[in-house]
Structure 1
Amino acid sequence: MQDIEAIGTLLEHPQTVLITTHQNPDADAMGSSLGLAGYLRKKGHRVTVVTPTDYPQSLHWMPGNDGVIPFDEKVRVSVSRLVEESTVIFCLDFSSLDRIRELAPLIRQARARKVLIDHHLEPESFADLALWDPKAAATAELIFRLIVQLGDKALIDVPIAECLYSGLMTDTGSFRHSNTTGNVHRMAAELVDLGIDVSSIHRRIFDNVSLDKFRMLGYVLNEKLKVLPEYKFAYITLTDAELKRYRSKTGDTEGMVNYALAVEGVVMAAILIDRVDEIRLSFRSIGDFSVRDLASTHFDGGGHRNAAGGRSKLSMAETEKKLLSIIPLYQQSLLETV
C-alpha cells in the first residue's frame, strides 16, 4: 500500500499539517516525525508535531524538537484546536489508533485527510492514504523513500538527514538486525554523504545515560533477570516500586529486554513493566520465532516478528504466571530455533 503519488498530489498546495506518532516515542518515531516536518516546512506547509506522551531526553537534541508538543491535559484545548485547523494529519510509526492514547478520538474524528506512514503489520483502516511497507526497516526509511520519489531529494539537508539516520540506525539495532538490507545501507550512505556526524548521533542517543539508569540496569541484571534454559527463554520483571526506587524516567527501560536476549542460548526474551494502570510487555526473539504472534495471541499486542509488545490488565504476579504458563506451548519451536 504505497499511495506516494496521491500523497504528492495532496501536498501540491500549502497545507496545515499535524504530525503525530505512537506513545513513548523512540528514535524512529521522533526521527521520522521531525525529518518529515523539516521537509514539509521547506515545501511551504505549516507543520506541528504532537506526541501522545513525553519521550526520552536523549532524543531532545533532534532538529525541530523545540516545537514538539507532548500531549497532556494542560494542552488538550490547544491541541484540539490544532487538530480542528489541520487539513492533513500524518500518522507515523504506528498501525492502530490505540497506540496514541488520548489523542486517538481527536484524530479519528478529525476532518483532515489522514496519511498513515508505517512498517508494522496489519494496519488499522483509519487513514485516507497510506505509505505502508512491513518490509521497511524503519518508518524513517519510508519518509526517505517518499521524499526521493516525490523528486525532492535535494531538499534533504543535514538536520533532516540527522533525524532520518537516527530512526534508521536505532530500528536496525545499529545495523545488526535481520532487517538491515542493502537498501538500508544505501540510504545510510546517502545520508552520511550529506555531512552528518555519525559518531555524534550515536553518542547522543546511546552514550548519554544517567547514573540512576545505570544503577537500575545493574540491579536488573543481578536480581531480576531469570533464565529458563529448557525453553531458551529469559525474562525480567520491574515493579512500580522498583522503578520509583531508581527514579526511572521515560526511556530508561528502553532496550533493557535486549540484555536478556543476549544471554547465551536464549532465543526469546521478555520484560514485564508495571505501569500502574497496566503491565506493559516487550518481547524480542531471534531467527524465525515470531514474538509478534505470541504477543497478539495472548497479550493484545503486535509488532514485528522479532520485536513486539503487549499489555495486561492483570497484576504483575498474575501476568508473570500467565506468561510462564504460555511458554511451554512454544517449547518445541523455541528449541528448534537457532
Structure 2
Amino acid sequence: MNSTDIATVKSLLAKPQKIVIIPHKNPDGDAIGSCLALAHFLKATGQNPMVIAPNDYPKFLKWLPSDNLIYNFEHQNSQSKKLIEEATLIFTLDFNHFSRTGQLEPLLAASKADFIMIDHHQQPDTYARVTYSDVNMSSTCEMVYNFIEALDGTDKISKDIATCLYTGIMTDTGSFKYYSTTSKTHRVVANLIDKGAENMTIHQQVFDTNSPARLHLLGVALNNLKILEEYNTAYITLSQEELDKHNYSKGDTEGFVNYGLTLEGINFAVIFIENKEEGIIKISFRSIGEFSVNEFARNHFNGGGHTNASGGRSEVSIAETTKYFESLLENYKLQLQ
C-alpha cells in the first residue's frame, strides 16, 4: 500500500461506517481467515463489521474465532441483501472481480459504497477506491497483516486475529511449502505465534478432523488418478455419483489435486469434479515450476488464479472435458518438461 492509499483508508475508518466484508464464492482458509481477522481488527477500532459469504464453506474452518459473524448469503438472503444495500464501506478479500462472488455480483455492482480490495490474484479489476493488490504475496492473510501494520494497528492483533491469519497463511502456502512463502512470510507467522496463534492446534483443526467418508472418497479419487507421463501430467476425476455415494460435504475434496504433484516427474496436476446442481465440472489446476496454470485456465477453462494454483470450469461432461483437456497438452509439451 502506498501512502495515499493508507491515508484514504485511515480517513474512511476515522468515522463510523456500515462495513461489510466479502470473500469469494466457495471460500477457502485464506478467504475465511482474512475476512474474520479483518472483522476482529475493525471491531477493535470501534467499527461494527459483518462478513457475508456467498455460500457455505468447509466444516474444518467453522471452529475459527467468531465464525458466527459470518452470514451465509444462500441461507440468510434477506439479511445479507439489506446489509450490502446499506453498506457505506465494503472490503472485498481474496478475489479481484465481482464475478468471483456468484449471486452477490449484481448487488456489489449496484452498491454505492466505497470499496477496498485486498487480494493477491492476477489481473485485478478497477472497482475499488483503494486497491491493495500484490500477486507475489503468499496469501491474502499475509496482506491483511500488512494492512493492519500500515494502519499502525499491530498492537491490536489479538490471539483471535493471529489465529485467523495463521490459518489462512498456512492453508494458502500448502503448510509453507510453496514458492510464495518468503522469509517475510515466516517473520509474519512468527509474530502471529507470539501474539497467541497455537500452530499445532490450528494444524490439527484444519487437517486432522477427517471423517471416514472423506478418506474413502480420497481412495476413490486416487483410484481414478490418470498419469500422462509423456506430458508430465496427472489428473483425477470425481463424478457426482461418487461424491453422493461417500456423503460429500463442502471441503471434502480440498487438497486432493495436490496428490498428483507428489508423483516423481509430474509437473502438472488437475482434478475434475462434477457438480450437477450447478451444471458444471469444477476444475482445480496445480503446477510446479514456471508452467502457468493461471494462463492455462484463462485460455481454455474460463478460470484463473495464480501461476502455480488456479481454477476453472467446464459446462460439458467429465468425459468430454477430460478429452478436451488431453487434446490441449501437446501444445504445452515443451513447457511441461
Which category of TM-score, normalised to the shorter sequence, fits these structures? over 0.9
Q: Could you tell me which residue of structure 2 aligns to residue 260 of structure 1?
A: 260
Residue 125 (1) aligns with residue 120 (2)? no
Aligned to 1:310: 312
Counterpart for residue 86 of structure 1 = 87
The residue type equivalent to 1:81 in the other structure is K
8 A Cα contact 2:29 2:167, kept in partner: yes
Shift of residue 218, structure 1, vs aligned partner: 1.1
Post-superposition CA distance 1:262-316 (Å, at most 9, x none)? 1111000000111111111100000111111111100111000100111111121
Deviation beyond 3 Å, 4+ runs, structure 1: none
- Equivalent residues in 2 for 1:57-72 (5 A)? 57-72=59-74
Q: Report if the CA contact (8 A) 1:4-1:131 is conserved.
A: no
Residue in structure 2 matched with residue 292 of structure 1 by the alignment:
294
1:209 alignment partner in structure 2: 210
Tell me which residue corresponds to 2:142.
141
> What's 1:220 paired with?
221
Determine the C-alpha separation between the residues in 2 that align with 1:260 and 1:42: 43
Which residue identity lines up with residue 293 of structure 2 in the other structure? V
Q: Say which of 289, 300, 303 aligns to 1:301.
A: 303
CA deviation map 1:247-275 (0-9, x unaligned): 11100111100001111110000001111
Q: Aligned-residue CA RMSD in angstroms?
A: 1.0
Deviation per residue, 1:100-138 (Å, 9 max, x gap): 100111111111111111000001222221111111110
Deviations 1:79-105 (A, max 9, x none): 111112111011000121111100111
The answer to whether 1:179 aligns with 2:156 is no
**Conserved? CA contact 1:93–1:139, under 8 Å:** yes
State the distance in 1 between where 2:123 and 2:196 align: 36
Deviations 1:194-242 (A, max 9, x none): 1221100000001111110000101211x20000111100000111111
Q: Residue 163 of structure 2 contacts residue 196 of structure 2 at CA under 8 Å; is this kept in 1?
A: no
Query: How far, CA to CA, are the matches of 1:286 and 1:4 in structure 2?
Result: 35
1:93-172 alignment, distance < 5 Å? 93-172=94-173
State the shift of 1:145 in Å. 0.5
The alpha-carbon deviation at position 10 of structure 1 amounts to 1.1
The gaps in structure 1 that reach 5 residues or longer are: none
Q: Secondary structure at the match of 1:15?
A: coil
Q: What aligned pairs does 1:316-327 form with structure 2 within 5 A after superposition? A: 316-327=318-329
The corresponding residue for 2:196 is 195
What is the rounded CA distance, in whole Å, between the counterparts of 1:184 and 1:113 in structure 2?
29
Q: Does 1:229 align with 2:237?
A: no
- TM norm structure 2: 0.97
Instruction: Tell me what 2:41 maps to.
Output: 39
Q: For 1:191 and 1:17, how far apart are their aligned partners in 2?
A: 25
Normalized against structure 1, the TM-score is what? 0.97
**AA in 2 matched with 1:244:** D
Give the total of aligned pairs.
333
Are 2:18 and 1:16 aligned?
yes
Q: CA deviation at 1:77?
A: 1.9
Question: Alignment identity in percent?
Answer: 43
Distance across 1 between alignment mates of 2:187 and 2:57 = 29
Deviation per CA, 1:18-43: give whole Å up to 9, x if none.
00101111110000000000000111
